Amino acid sequence: MKKMIKPLFSIIMVFVLMAFQNGDVLCNAKELKEKASNALDPYKYDSAELTRILYKNKETVKEVEVPLFIGEKYRIVFELEALPKQVEVQIYNKNKDSKNRKLLFSSKDIGADKKEFQFEISKARQVYVDYIVPPSEEGSYSGCAVFMVGYK
C-alpha cells in the first residue's frame, strides 16, 4: 500500500504543476508590455499594470484605479491577447461604489473581438478600469490583461 501512495502522489503533483504552468505561459508580462508600448507612441511611458483575470461560474467585475495628473493628456493602451475568453473593458470617472459615476469608454463599442485598443483622456484626476469577466462554462480558469499609460 505504501508503495502505491508515493507514485500516486507524484502523479497528482505533476498534474497540479502543469495546470499552474499553463496560466503562466499565457501571461508573458514582458511580451504583452512590449506590444502595448508600441501603441503608446508618441506618448511617453508613465506606468503599466498586469491584471490576473479569474473566470468563475458567474459574471464578475475586477476594478483597477489609475491615478492621473490634471492638465496632462493620457493614452491608455490595453493588450488582452492572453485572455482565453474575451472580457469587456469599461472606464469610469469614479469607482464602482459611487452613485454618480459616468462611463467614459467601453470596449463593447469598438468590437467584441478586438484584443488591443486604446483610450485617450485629459482633465481627470483618476479613472477606474473595470474588467467585466463573463461566466465560464467549463469551470475555473485564468488569463491576464495588461494596460499601459502614457502622457503627452
Round to whole Å and give the CA distance between 75 and 41.
9
Classify residue 107 by its DSSP letter: G
H/E segment holding residue 31: helix 29-38
pLDDT digits (tens, 9 = 90+) for 111-128: 767 889 999 998 889 999
Assigned architecture for domain 2-151:
Sandwich (2.60)
pTM of the model as a whole: 0.77
* Sequence ranges of the domains in the chain: 2-151
- Residue 143 near residue 83, CB atoms below 8 Å: yes
Round to whole Å and give the CA distance between 26 and 30.
11
Round to whole Å and give the CA distance between 152 and 146.
20
Round to whole Å and give the CA distance between 123 and 49.
21
Classify residue 136 by its DSSP letter: P
pLDDT digits (tens, 9 = 90+) for 80-119: 999 888 899 999 999 999 989 999 999 988 876 788 999 9
